[in-house]
Amino acid sequence: HDQSDKSDKAIIDELHERLAVKTIELENATNSFRTVLGLKNQKIREMEERISLLIATKQEEMNNAITDQMKIMQTKLDNMESTLNIRALSDKSTTNSRPIMEIVQPTRDVTPIVDNGVTSGIIRAKFTEISKLTKSHVQSEAIKVAGLDWVIRIYQTTREDTKYLSAFLAIITKPFPEARSFSVYFKIKLVRQSSCEAPFVREHNGVKFDTSKGYGNNKFFKFEELLSTSNDYVTRSIWRLISQFIPQSNFVIFDFLSFDYKYLLLLL
């Protein structure tokens, strides 16, 4: 009987030892897992910080590039306007005037920029026979930039018994690529015919563009003020809108992290 008790005690002691060993192994495995998890979390935080820094750096580079290009295009436009004889163009267009649905061919000036994928364009649209302008929109001939067709649309609208010239920027490409969208900054500029005074400008920021829609102002300019000879916007029923725009292409930072900076458009 005593030998049986000793045998049982030995078995129990052995089981306690094995349990203690397994407990230590479990604690070691748990500590190892926590260490590995902590290292991975640290790497994730470091990667997130690097990504945030890359995004900020890339955005700053893009903003600087776009700002520089806008300055270049504005200088170019100012130089063109300073050498333009408005009176001579108005007289010439009067003898060859066409119905309001036919617009003077816009000037195309597209310059590719390799380093950041930007292309830029200038449209100069001259509209005639303002007395025939109705609620049905009229548009300039299209200019293709960034693979899409852009136009300026105008029509007449009446709000609270006051007539206005409505002016919009629009994309008319059909079918419109579903994968492409645009966040647009633009200005619309109504140019004086003979004087060097500043043009009338409407400005828009962060407008999201879609196809077949115009973006601008229903109440761009009062008809009464537009037709006033003292303002010098209309000569012999002719008035001009000048546009300059810069679309910015999409880009990818990492294969697993894609950023769409949309399209930045400037209409001057």
CATH label of the domain that carries residue 138: 2.60.210.10
Residue 122 lies inside a defined structural domain of this protein: yes
Residue 238 lies inside a defined structural domain of this protein: yes
Residue 46 lies inside a defined structural domain of this protein: no
Low-confidence ranges of the chain (pLDDT < 70): 1-6, 77-121, 177-183, 210-213, 243-268
Residue 240 lies inside a defined structural domain of this protein: yes
Residue 242 lies inside a defined structural domain of this protein: yes
Tokens of 219: 């109440």
pTM given for the model: 0.51
pLDDT attached to residue 18: 86
Which tens digits make up the pLDDT trace of 185-237?
Answer: 778 889 888 777 888 988 877 777 765 567 888 999 998 998 888 888 888 77
**Number of compact structural domains in the chain:** 1
Residue 206 and residue 62 in contact, taking contact as beta carbons nearer than 8 Å:
no
pLDDT attached to residue 221: 92
Domain that holds residue 158: 86-259
Which tens digits make up the pLDDT trace of 107-119?
Answer: 333 433 333 344 6
Residue 264 lies inside a defined structural domain of this protein: no
Residue 21 lies inside a defined structural domain of this protein: no
Residue 240 and residue 193 in contact, taking contact as beta carbons nearer than 8 Å:
yes
Name the nearest CA neighbour of 58 among 267, 258, 266, 265: 258
Residue 245 lies inside a defined structural domain of this protein: yes
